[in-house]
Amino acid sequence: MDGLNEAAPDTVQKAAPGQAPSDGTGVVLLDPYLEPFKGALQSRFAKAQKWIDDINTHEGGLEKFSRGYERFGFTVAADGTITYREWAPNAMRAYLIGDFNGWNRDSHEMKRDTYGVWEIQLPAVNGQPAIPHDSKVKISMVVPNDQARAERVPAWIKRVTQDINVSPVYDARFWNPPHQYTFKNPRPPKPASARVYEAHVGISSPEPKVTTYKEFTRDTLPRIHQLGYNTIQLMAVMEHAYYASFGYQINSFFAASSRYGFPDDLKQLVDTAHGLGITVLLDVVHSHASKNVLDGLNMFDNSDGLYFHEGARGRHELWDSRLFNYGHHEVLRFLLSNLRFWMEEYQFDGFRFDGVTSMLYQHHGIGTGFSGGYHEYFGPNVDEDGVVYLMLANELLHSLYPNCITIAEDVSGMPALCVKLSLGGIGFDYRLAMAVPDLYIKWLKEKQDIEWDMGALCHTLTNRRHGEKTIAYAESHDQALVGDKTLLFWLCDAQMYTNMSTLSELTPVIHRGMSLHKMIRLITHGLGGEAYLNFSGNEFGHPEWLDFPREGNNNSFHYARRQFNLPDDQLLRYRFLNVFDTHLQHTEEKYGWLHSPQAYISLKHEGDKVIVFERAGLLWVFNFHPEQSFSDFRVGVEEPGTYRVVIDTDSTTFGGMGRVESSTRFFTTDFEWNGRKNFLQVYVPARSAIVLALEPTLDPNWKANISLGF
């Protein structure tokens, strides 16, 4: 892929029916470089199959096994009888305490079975459950050694609350509302092209506060829908001990964060999104857990290795958190049931698995630079139990929910991550293209525009494993967090505070920043993957980083918000970027390039800084040169006909200079050029890009659509 004229051919070797072996090495047919590692593939596959066989034999199958939340924690029978069960094999005695019994530590003793599961039943009182709805509860255990009491938040609790004015420790609540929320809208179909809007409920308001589920439903969902995104990825929903952790220190895995409101408010959010045709994914953190003892899983029954590995292996040095033991039967029950719970109770449509690299390797990716050598993905550094857990999780989800979407956040490039289990893969639908945003930030920090390498840009955007779907993105929440800056902030910096008004001068800095912001998003969208992701607010070039209230900033909410007021202000240039992003998403909906075969790159010219490629019948032309415009620039195209502009980053509608006439018709000439059967000639101004489509594909009102942004 180093030549000037470049194709990105599909090199996946298709296996004939019945040809793929059944020992987990079928993936070798897709990627022959895996041939030397057949033994490792067979080992992980055999372990996954053994777990499935054991669960079938002893638990009635994965479907039943993953319903652990119907047996553990608190359940309420039709007659009002409450049953509470908890796995705590190290405890000598256990008691249920709470508001319901005046916190009497001895009145409600639990019984233990041979597996270390404690149980108590509370008959109804006058036809009503003995524990009042939303009242506080705990489990109190007598533990070995000094026989002291260990009082904990129940592991399977579905609601916890925090009164920071009283204590940072969370309180467990017995959640049993008299009326259950009824979902009104069915799950939408699985999107052919996933256009993902990554969002955090708490920061989704211009106001310096914690935004609620209800406010997100009312104010942000319509915005996402209008922009044209068909998928939402909700971050920081599972209850986390520390708000500033961005949801990455989970203490209660079955509880939706009470910071944003009640459980039914989250259900209404998901339900309303479904009514708009939007798929909703949950950011799930099974890579580690909060090390909190009083309101987390750590030292739950006063033993170090209940849910986690004992000793150093059970602790993540950099994250200061605990690491699950994925090879334990009850840990698998807990985690698989956790996935099933969010799918059933809240009707989520799938998950983005956080920290997958940490789960795949014993070293958790710490101090490891992955070169792409296949030896890095196999051998003693791999946590085979972690790999197998992810296999089981994907097999469970996709067998029960055919339209489920799973996304892996992995920086290592593990092969077969997005190949189904039957072929020996791990089973995800998508992987995140984490090298793409890293490239943009690195270049903006270190290179002049004229030094941008067109070949390196094309390589980074197309360097993905064939047969495995990738989500491309220019920036996510990672790039927005304090210590870094959003792309537009890198591009424009201080002038964002002085020159983003249309009443002020369009300075070279702002013009460059807005131009490259649009071009970066467009080429990432068109060339980078089979799905696209944007973090909340970055569609309009959010001007500031993201920083949650913490001791280091005097608990300020100033940067823990999204300033949606900016694109709504007709006198600010943010609206141009917002309209461009809207037009981009709606144009993809029409032409479907994300679910089309990978692009054919016919030109990447280093001197001119021009990139040309075709995808989904569209012709994409980029001129990254900071100064040089090209008139009558000849570009190759396979399909003959008359072409018209469907996207122009330089359009005045998008805050550009309007140097390309939108009504121009481009006619092909039957003459081979850059390896394509035909050519046409275009005007491509400096720092701009156009996308052309065959005239018959245009809507009759295409001009009006462009002016409206979709």
User: pLDDT, tens digit, for every residue of 269-288?
Assistant: 999 999 999 999 999 999 99
551 classed as catalytic: no
Residue 370's pLDDT band (cuts 50, 70, 90)? confident
pLDDT at 44: 97
Ranges 10-14, 133-137, 249-253: which has the least confidence: 10-14
Q: Which strands sit side by side in the sheet containing 610-615, from one edge to the other?
A: 600-605, 610-615, 618-623, 688-694, 642-648, 665-667
Residue 46 has pLDDT above 80, yes or no: yes
pLDDT at 2: 32
Residue 485's pLDDT band (cuts 50, 70, 90)? confident
409 classed as catalytic: yes
pLDDT at 280: 98
Q: Burial of 458 by CB count in 10 Å (0-12 exposed, 13-18 middle, 19+ buried)?
A: buried
Report pTM: 0.95
Cα–Cα distance list, 565 to 206, 208, 222, 506 (Å) = 7, 13, 14, 21
Query: CA 695 to CA 62: how far, in whole Å?
Result: 52
pLDDT at 708: 52
Percent of the chain as helix, strand, coil, to the nearest 5:
35, 25, 45
Average predicted confidence (pLDDT) for the chain? 94
Closest CA to 131 of 163, 175, 86: 175
Angle between helices 508-527 and 454-462 (to 10 degrees): 40
Query: CA 392 to CA 358: how far, in whole Å?
Result: 17
Angle between helices 329-345 and 38-59 (to 10 degrees): 80
pLDDT at 483: 66
Query: CA 510 to CA 516: how far, in whole Å?
Result: 10
Query: CA 46 to CA 437: how far, in whole Å?
Result: 37
Residue 704's pLDDT band (cuts 50, 70, 90)? very low
Superfamily of domain 598-708: Golgi alpha-mannosidase II (2.60.40.1180)
Question: Which has more confidence, 546 or 255?
Answer: 255
Residue range 466-483, pLDDT digits in tens: 899 999 999 998 887 766
pLDDT at 478: 86
* Residue given tokens 């990738």 in the structure block: 470
Query: CA 74 to CA 224: how far, in whole Å?
Result: 36
Cα–Cα distance list, 663 to 250, 618, 642, 648 (Å) = 54, 17, 12, 12
Residue 16 has pLDDT above 80, yes or no: no
Query: CA 71 to CA 333: how far, in whole Å?
Result: 11
Residue 78 identity (one-letter amino acid):
A
Catalytic residue among 271, 409, 475, 614: 409
Query: CA 371 to CA 390: how far, in whole Å?
Result: 23
**Helices and strands, number each (H, E), in the chain:** 16, 29
Residue 642 has pLDDT above 90, yes or no: yes
Q: Which two tokens stand for residue 360?
A: 């795949």
Query: CA 73 to CA 585: how far, in whole Å?
Result: 43
Query: CA 710 to CA 706: how far, in whole Å?
Result: 6
Domain 68-174 identical in fold to domain 598-708: yes
Neighbour tally for 541: CB within 10 Å:
28
Question: Which has more confidence, 368 or 710?
Answer: 368
Selecting from 3.40.50.720, 3.40.50.150, 2.60.40.10, 3.30.70.360, what CATH number does the domain 68-174 have?
Answer: 2.60.40.10
User: Domain spans of the chain?
Assistant: 68-174, 598-708
Catalytic residue among 354, 581, 588, 614: 354
Residue 374's pLDDT band (cuts 50, 70, 90)? very high
Closest CA to 297 of 249, 263, 363: 249
Query: CA 226 to CA 280: how far, in whole Å?
Result: 16
Maximum alpha-carbon separation in the chain: 90
